[in-house]
Chain A
């Protein structure tokens, strides 16, 4: 930081300052979807994945129950949608763990920075 500059050498001083700041600034974590799991690693991860899984099942069961209520097909809607919800829950977990491509699949890989694909 203690570089010598001629007085009035504003550009030089600014560049020096920029370098010093860049050296001080902590490197940006380049991933944004998963940085949250690093701090309180296991705990955060567990909560995130379990909430994804449970949400899938709850929504599936809710949909099935609602359809049964509307169409009077009890218990078939609940059975079918609970199973679908189970599948969706597993899909959610794998997706948020980065094991399965995002919504709209496939063509996503490559340059298009996708936070879930790291």
Chain B
């Protein structure tokens, strides 16, 4: 069981709850989501509570995160986009914290389940749609009609654009989920090689050095991926919000 690379993604019910035939159980996934929110909130709150004019190291990290997201949003969606700052910042912090918490041994990785990442992506696209229609009315649909296309081709192009738009939440969520899932499985498989080779005596133990080195390297890579995927998620969110703010141009 210990070497089963999929075992780490199993959902287990901690507090079974059932309302009206639907399963609302508090699972290990929910527990880690709560932990993620608590960790992110506590980190930001505690590091900025001193409000030093000359920031301490941890306070600098909080402030840099803030400025990083703020400038990213301003670049992608203009200063109007800043009204979405709370959304983008929370998404970024949630994904980043969830990814990083998942790097602890024996911890559950919330973002390795597509249902979680897809819910996040739906939240983003839902915001884009609701805000786009609320702000621009049917002018928002200009998003799907590129300029300078011959009238004959318009129906085809519009259909393709709509499918392309609908595929955004899918690619957004699949990218995050696939990266986390694949990374954690690879890590587990290589780490499993170490133990199974080590059980084969001296020759096996010396051979186990290779997968061990690989595991160490992969751990570093996984930390990079954890940050990178949170970053990519936030960047794409900014770009999609830009469409809601300025459709058609």
How many residues on the A side are at the interface (Cβ–Cβ under 8 A)?
38
Q: How far is the CB of A36 from chain B (nearest CB, A)?
A: 5
Say which residue of B163, B179, B239, B249 sits within 8 Å of A60 (CB atoms). B163
B107 at the interface (CB under 8 A from A): no
> How far, in angstroms, from A9 to B225 measured CA to CA in the complex?
46
> How far, in angstroms, from A103 to B76 measured CA to CA in the complex?
14
Given contacts A63-B166, A107-B249, contact A51 B171 (CB under 8 A): yes
A56 at the interface (CB under 8 A from B): yes
Q: How large is the interface on B (under 10, 10 to 19, 20 to 34, 35 or more residues)?
A: 35 or more
Q: Which residue of A lies closest to B159 (CB)?
A: A84
Q: Which residue of B lies closest to A34 (CB)?
A: B235
In this complex, which of A40, A51, A102 has the most chain B Cβ atoms within 10 angstroms of its Cβ? A51
Q: Are B163 and A56 in contact (CB under 8 A)?
A: yes
Q: Are B179 and A47 in contact (CB under 8 A)?
A: yes
Say which residue of B144, B148, B175, B238 sits within 8 Å of A51 (CB atoms). B175
Q: Which residue of A lies closest to B240 (CB)?
A: A103
A87 at the interface (CB under 8 A from B): yes
Q: Are B170 and A58 in contact (CB under 8 A)?
A: yes
B160 at the interface (CB under 8 A from A): yes
B178 at the interface (CB under 8 A from A): yes
A101 at the interface (CB under 8 A from B): yes
Q: Which A-B residue pairs are the 10 nearest by beta carbons?
A: A55-B171, A105-B146, A88-B163, A106-B147, A88-B164, A55-B170, A55-B167, A59-B167, A87-B160, A56-B167
Binding site for B on A (CB under 8 A): 32-33, 36, 39-40, 44, 47-48, 51-52, 54-56, 58-60, 63, 81, 84-85, 87-89, 91-92, 95, 101-108, 112-113, 115-116
A-B contact pairs, 17 of them (CB 8 A): A32-B76, A32-B235, A36-B231, A40-B228, A47-B178, A47-B179, A48-B232, A55-B167, A55-B174, A56-B163, A56-B167, A56-B171, A60-B167, A63-B166, A85-B163, A102-B243, A116-B239
